[in-house]
Amino acid sequence: MDARLEVLEVGGPVLVQDGGRAGSMHHGVPPGGALVPEWLAAANRAVGNAWNAAALECYGRLELGLSGRDAWVSVDGQSFRVEAGGHFSVPAPEQGVVRYVAVEGGLDVPELLGGRGTLPVARLGGFEGRALKRGDLLPLGTGGGTRVEAGVALSLDAEVRVVLGPDLGRFGADAMELLLESTFTVSPTSDRMGMRLRGPTLPQADEGSGLSGPMVRGAIQVPSSGEAIVLGPDHPTLGGYPVLAVVIRADWGSLAARRPGASVRFRAVGVDEARDLWKQHSQEWA
């Protein structure tokens, strides 16, 4: 009997996610991948998987069953053994907005465009391109890797570091000062496409005269309303709103993991420092 993971109960959105799809943005496909890559990595390594193997990204409670073989299971990097025919519960996220469940061998869903993760806006990848529901059966890959339980420390109240630009000339004179000296809060309307931040209005100067251009995860777009939107893993590949700053890669997870109502403050760093910070941070888990 093939090894499978069965969804018994779902108390909130659950997606299959992995390390993302590199190299498909020229086809209009965003990179996607885990909202908090560090937590995905911790869950996978605790059961002997590669850090970017397909796992469950959970926004609510979950009940799961295992069939076909015994397997190691990890919730947020804490592993435990589940026997064939057994089932287990996953509580709703507590520390941040999401938590990750990995199973030894990874979720063996089809690979599309170089990734197995779900892209909900395109109904692509994961399990039938959608959030999971009761009765879904997910095939498991072959396990046997070395298990390493080593969490990645993320501060959910630390300053978020950004590189300013590239569109500073499209903003009012005090927009940069407002961004760096104000406290914002995470809006409940945030999603995987972008985190909306409540705070002061960031004034534009060009009244929407700019052309559309390529976008990246972490870009802080500002529409005419003056609301800051930090692009997430499922961001559009092109955008016309001006970009005031870009969150550095080392701070993606710390920002994305924050729950609605959490505070956000920004601090500017240079490009060279951003690269050094990513090199140091990625050595811990990537």
Q: For the segment 51-91, what is each residue's pLDDT rounded down to a tens digit?
A: 999 999 999 999 999 999 999 999 999 999 999 999 999 99
Residues 194 and 232 in one domain: yes
Radius of gyration in angstroms for the set of CA atoms belonging to the chain, rounded to a whole number: 20
Mean per-residue pLDDT for 199-220?
85
The answer to whether position 22 is within a domain reads: yes
Residues 196 and 245 in one domain: yes
The answer to whether position 146 is within a domain reads: no
In angstroms, how far is CA 134 from the centroid of its own chain? 23
pLDDT bucket at 207, cuts 50 / 70 / 90: low
Q: Which tens digits make up the pLDDT trace of 155-194? A: 999 999 999 999 999 999 899 999 999 999 999 999 999 9
The answer to whether position 149 is within a domain reads: no
- What's the confidence (pLDDT) of residue 161? 98
On the question of pLDDT at 9 being above 90, the answer is yes
Residues 75 and 123 in one domain: yes
Query: Percentage of the chain surpassing pLDDT 70?
Result: 98
Mean pLDDT for the chain? 94
Residues 106 and 172 in one domain: no
Rounded Cα gap, residues 100 and 40, in angstroms = 6
Rounded Cα gap, residues 162 and 230, in angstroms = 11
69: its two tokens: 């073989």
Residues 44 and 101 in one domain: yes
3: its two tokens: 């090894």
Residues 75 and 128 in one domain: yes
The answer to whether position 97 is within a domain reads: yes
- What's the confidence (pLDDT) of residue 151? 72
Q: Considering Cα of 228, then 162, then 120, then 77, what sign does the dihedral take?
A: negative
Please identify, among 85, 105, 139, the residue that sits at the C-terminal boundary of a domain.
139
Query: Percentage of the chain surpassing pLDDT 90?
Result: 85
Q: Which tens digits make up the pLDDT trace of 251-281? A: 999 999 999 999 999 999 999 999 999 999 9
**Higher confidence at residue 207 or residue 52?**
52
Residues 117 and 8 in one domain: yes
- What's the confidence (pLDDT) of residue 246? 98
Domain that holds residue 115: 4-139
- What's the confidence (pLDDT) of residue 216? 95
Nearest to 180 by CA among 220, 208, 210, 207: 220
The answer to whether position 73 is within a domain reads: yes
The answer to whether position 147 is within a domain reads: no
Task: Identify the weakest region by mean pLDDT among 15-29, 121-135, 199-213.
Answer: 199-213
Model's pTM, two decimal places? 0.95
* Contacting residues for 111 by C-beta, under 8 A, at least 6 apart: none
Tally of domains in the chain: 2
Residues 175 and 96 in one domain: no
Looking only at Cα atoms, what is the longest distance across the chain? 66
Nearest to 186 by CA among 224, 227, 155: 227
What's the CATH code of the domain at 200?
Answer: 2.40.100.10
Instruction: Give the bridge partners for 127, in sequence order.
Output: 130
Residues 165 and 132 in one domain: no
What are the b/e assignments for 88-99, b being 16+ CB within 10 Å? eebeebeebbbb
Mean per-residue pLDDT for 93-112?
96
Amino acid in the structure at residue 171? F
Rounded Cα gap, residues 8 and 12, in angstroms = 13
What are the b/e assignments for 240-270, b being 16+ CB within 10 Å? ebbbbbbbbbbbbbbbbbbeeeeebebeebe
- What's the confidence (pLDDT) of residue 208? 60
